[in-house]
Amino acid sequence: MDKFIVQGGKRLKGEVEISGAKNSCLPILAAALLGEGESVIENVPNLRDISTMVKLLRSLGARVTQNNGSVSIRPTNALVPLAPYKLVSTMRASVCVLGPLLGKLGEAEVSLPGGCVIGARPIDLHLKGFEALGAKITIEHGYVKAKASSLRGSEIYLGGSFGSSVLATGNVMMAAVLAKGETSIENAACEPEVVDLANFLIRMGAKIEGHGSHLIRIQGVKKLRGVKYQVISDRIEAGTYLVAGAVTRGDVTVKNVTPEHNNALYDKLIQAGAVITKGKNTVRIQVKKPLKPVDLTTLPYPGFPTDLQAQMMALMTTASGISVITEKIYPDRFMHVPELNRMGARIFLEGSSAIVTGAKKLSGAHVMASDLRASAALVLAGLVAEGRTDIHRVYHLDRGYEQVEEKLSRLGATVWREKE
């Protein structure tokens, strides 16, 4: 197992190329199972989660090859409906094979998912949607079993305790594209990754309208074809590097991005005192004066993303004053707080809110990564901390950030990786 080491104190400056969106790639790779013939997905990052999905698709009987940022998937006549615990337990997004398997084969048996430990994330909305389409659902021995002789279009309301669900919206959409008749998904997630998945399915021949809104309508078709498709850039990776620029009071430009995907983040960075300049497919951040504290609440898109909450908290530990960060998506997503406090941060939790009092300085320490975005927050804190920060269990970071040490090094950071 590796650990990630950051020697703090370097101001970041320069340009960084953003990879394809992990949270688009995973369901799109799964959706390729629905096609007749080969699909080639481009702009795919080289990540641990992508490798897990490739192994899972192969275990289901698909022929999958990876080559320099692209993945080709050819479903075979020997597809099997069983997604085993060994693979699904390591990555929550593995559950997104349920929809394609159910739509294509009429049955699916998928282990209950694992992934980051960031609080309860049940899949009840997924199952509610499948049942509305006519599937019979049972849970036995840690596996979800779904079966339907024929899926039928239906009106489905996907509202949950904390708003819409990206994975559930995508999963139900994938099951519905081959169902008979029309399906409407109300309170659908609006995230760019959902839109990207819908655009891929449309390219394959699906009939989908309303993606990007809270009401998606799907007219079932008899079959889909394999296609070539390029996924969008990763807005969370882009946001992380912009915050890295801010925390080091630097000057960083992210390239290969869709600028409007991160407007909620820009709003908070500008409130804090950063200067944001948007180009056609670039965003530049400059910090020329001391940063001010800001309050924020995570919400479904287009609100502030929960996947940037930890990184923004690391930034606010360096602002002068008190910030309040409220988590409305995953109220328990504060595993990074005690580790940031080990570095000299002053953060107190009150229910689903964190009260952050800006510290005069952070100091390097040994810290433990609990999940993907917490890992990123600890790296950001290490960039500005005095001395050396050792971040343990760095495999979390490798699940969602491609070539992170190379990209940070090119911006001027002193970072490296060592064996534990």
Average pLDDT, the chain: 95
Q: Residue 60: what residue type?
A: L
pLDDT band at 244 (very low <50, low <70, confident <90, very high): very high
Q: Which tokens in the block code for residue 337?
A: 């707080």
Contact (CB, 8 A) for 92 and 115:
yes
**Helix or strand or coil: residue 48?**
helix
Contact (CB, 8 A) for 254 and 241:
yes
Q: Render pLDDT for 312-368 as a digit per residue (tens, 0 to 9).
A: 999 999 999 999 999 999 888 999 999 999 999 999 999 999 999 998 899 999 999
Q: Residue 105: what residue type?
A: L
Residues sharing a CB contact under 8 Å with residue 67, sequence separation 6 or more, in sequence order? none
Which of 75-79, 110-114, 316-320, 383-387 is predicted least confidently? 110-114
Q: Report CA-CA distances (Å) from 415 to 5, 18, 268, 333, 409.
A: 6, 19, 27, 26, 7
Q: Which residues participate in catalysis according to the annotation? A: 116
- Helices and strands, number each (H, E), in the chain: 14, 26
Q: Render pLDDT for 66-83 as a digit per residue (tens, 0 to 9).
A: 999 999 999 999 999 999
Helix (H) or strand (E) holding 415: strand 414-419
What would the mean pLDDT of 396-416 be, rounded to a whole number? 96
The residues spanned by each domain of the chain are 2-19+233-419, 22-230
**What pTM value is reported for the model?**
0.96
Around 135, how many Cα atoms within 13 Å sit in the side-chain half-sphere? 29
- Classify residue 64 as left (phi > 0), alpha (psi -120 to 50) or beta: beta
Distance CA 73, CA 59 (A): 13
Distance CA 106, CA 127 (A): 14
Nearest CA to 24 among 51, 43, 40?
43
Contact (CB, 8 A) for 30 and 52:
no
**CATH top class, domain 22-230:** alpha beta
CATH placement of domain 2-19+233-419: 3.65.10.10
Report the length, in residues, of the chain. 420
Q: Render pLDDT for 121-177 as a digit per residue (tens, 0 to 9).
A: 478 899 999 999 999 999 988 889 999 999 999 999 998 877 789 999 999 999 999
Contact (CB, 8 A) for 165 and 27:
no
pLDDT of residue 121: 47
Q: Render pLDDT for 210-221 as a digit per residue (tens, 0 to 9).
A: 999 999 999 999
**Helix or strand or coil: residue 300?**
coil
